[in-house]
């Protein structure tokens, strides 16, 4: 290859991975024509969600911006949406004057609604949305009120590298004052099987949908959190797998630190996305969102 010839690599679209959970609210009045018990709803929770998001009238909504969405393709438990937002972009004209034109930058959102998976891949595009967390909030705020009609609550959390938590513990020795685990009541056995806190029994006994475990040091002391702690590791693992989020308060730092700084992500060739080769995309996303 000549020295002045550069190798051009395919442009990649970056996606971040989130987990959603569908938790039954057992004390809401049941629709007796459809379901007789919370167990009946739990057995059908993913069918209820699939019917909702694939309905012709379903659109994502955000009260703070004008957004547009379209269901591109669905196959089994996999569904793909294009989500765009209205932006006014400044342009400079030939006579050196300025004007604004409407612009609709957009992203792809892929949902795997397999009851043993329940993952969402959100494309990163800062021209459209500040970050993928912004989109996850839009998804949650759209779906949650609609699915509540079926006695379900819909929660979305990012998947992240659990080592990020332990890196923060090591980075601030003798400075950690508080660690808070905000945990969603489990409905996925594969991420809660090693959890040392019996959230399932707590949910069954009390109907708690979210549970906060807060560790606090004495005012003049600090938390002594060891990496070999089975109990703490189980909380970290569950959170990192999309079962909740963790925040940490450190002496000398005003703002709380969050551990989802290293989100689980992957890349897809932009040409493949634009080709809408759904057979190939289904294979790709099904292999990743497992």
Tell me the pLDDT tens digit for each residue of 211-249.
Answer: 999 999 999 999 999 999 999 999 999 999 999 999 999
Give the pLDDT confidence of 21-51 residue by residue, as tens digits: 999 998 877 665 578 888 899 999 999 999 9
N- to C-terminal Cα separation, the chain: 40
168 contact partners, CB below 8 Å, separation of at least 6: 176, 248, 250, 257, 259
Give the pair of three-digit tokens for residue 255: 């703002």
Residue 3's pLDDT is: 59
Residue 258's pLDDT is: 85
Give the pLDDT confidence of 65-81 residue by residue, as tens digits: 899 999 999 999 999 99
Give the pLDDT confidence of 193-216 residue by residue, as tens digits: 989 999 999 999 999 999 999 999
Instruction: Tell me 160's DSSP state.
Output: B
Give 2's pLDDT tier (boundaries 50, 70, 90): low
Residue 4's pLDDT is: 59
Beta pairing, strands 67-75 & 87-92: unpaired
Give the pLDDT confidence of 102-119 residue by residue, as tens digits: 899 999 999 999 999 999
Mean pLDDT of the chain: 91
Exposed/middle/buried for residue 259 (C-beta within 10 Å: 0-12, 13-18, 19+): buried
pLDDT at 151 over 80: yes
pLDDT at 5 over 70: no
Residue 6's pLDDT is: 58
Share of the chain above pLDDT 70, in %: 94
Give 85's pLDDT tier (boundaries 50, 70, 90): very high
Residue 53's pLDDT is: 97
Where is 40: in which H helix or E strand? helix 38-53
Residue 261's pLDDT is: 67
Mean pLDDT of 177-203: 93
Q: How far apart are CA 112 and CA 19, in angstroms?
A: 10
Q: How far apart are CA 107 and CA 69, in angstroms?
A: 10
Exposed/middle/buried for residue 139 (C-beta within 10 Å: 0-12, 13-18, 19+): buried
């Amino acid at each position: 290859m000549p020295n002045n010839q550069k190798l051009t690599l395919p442009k990649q679209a970056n996606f971040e991975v989130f987990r959603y959970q569908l938790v039954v609210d057992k004390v809401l009045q049941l629709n007796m024509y459809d379901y007789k018990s919370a167990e009946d709803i739990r057995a059908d929770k993913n069918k209820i969600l699939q019917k909702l998001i694939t309905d012709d009238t379903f659109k994502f909504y955000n009260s703070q911006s004008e957004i547009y969405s379209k269901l591109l393709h669905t196959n089994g438990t996999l569904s793909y949406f294009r989500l765009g937002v209205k932006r006014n972009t400044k342009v400079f004209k030939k006579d050196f004057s300025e004007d604004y034109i409407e612009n609709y930058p957009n992203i792809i959102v892929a949902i795997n609604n397999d009851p043993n998976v329940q993952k969402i891949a959100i494309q990163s595009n800062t021209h459209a949305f500040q970050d993928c967390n912004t989109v996850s909030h839009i998804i949650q705020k759209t779906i949650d009120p609609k699915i509540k009609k079926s006695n379900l609550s819909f929660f979305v959390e990012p998947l992240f590298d659990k080592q990020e938590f332990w890196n923060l513990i090591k980075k601030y020795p003798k400075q950690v004052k508080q660690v808070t685990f905000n945990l969603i009541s489990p409905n996925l056995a594969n991420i809660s099987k090693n959890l040392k806190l019996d959230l399932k029994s707590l949910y069954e006994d009390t109907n708690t949908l979210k549970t906060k475990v807060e560790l606090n040091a004495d005012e003049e002391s600090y938390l002594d959190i060891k990496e070999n702690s089975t109990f703490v590791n189980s909380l970290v693992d569950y959170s990192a797998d999309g079962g909740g989020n963790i925040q940490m308060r450190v002496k000398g730092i005003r703002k709380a630190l969050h551990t989802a700084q290293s989100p689980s992500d992957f890349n897809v060739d932009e040409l493949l996305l634009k080709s809408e080769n759904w057979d190939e995309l289904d294979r790709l996303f099904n292999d990743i969102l497992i």
